[in-house]
Structure 1
């Protein structure tokens, strides 16, 4: 299935700034509010359903014989038609 990027932003921030962004997303989810992402003239509003799929990835990219780049990715995903997948998966723990 082809992917259409609706919004993209990538820039360096302090850990404190990143925590603030993540807190705003968490607060919106707690309030059952939509989430608006804005950077410059780009903006998109997303309204996750009650039970979106939550994907967490820890990755290393780059050569296998040398230093690469590490990342932690958080993703909320849901079908546009509102149907749910129903797959609970293994319980996630974050410490």
Structure 2
């Protein structure tokens, strides 16, 4: 299935800064059906249903000068699935 990237950002940050961003995402998911992603001039607001598929994946990429390790956290839902517990706007 083809994939369309709607929003992407990548930046080296401290673990503490990443933890703060993940806490912000968790707080937004806990309190709202909308999640707004912003970086520079790019902004995307997603309507997140009350239930999603949560995937955690750890990978090792080899073949370069050094192996690269990563952990990915992914939320998935069908675009038509917009059931939610309430409508709170998050800016």
Please tell me the root mean square deviation across aligned C-alpha atoms, in Å: 1.7
Whether 2:84 is the aligned partner of 1:80: answer: no
In 2, distance between residues paired with 1:27 and 1:80? Answer: 22
Higher relative contact order (CA 8 A, sep 6+): 2
Partner of 1:15: 15
TM-score after normalising by structure 2: 0.83
Partner of 1:39: 39
TM-score after normalising by structure 1: 0.80
In 1, distance between residues paired with 2:27 and 2:57? Answer: 22
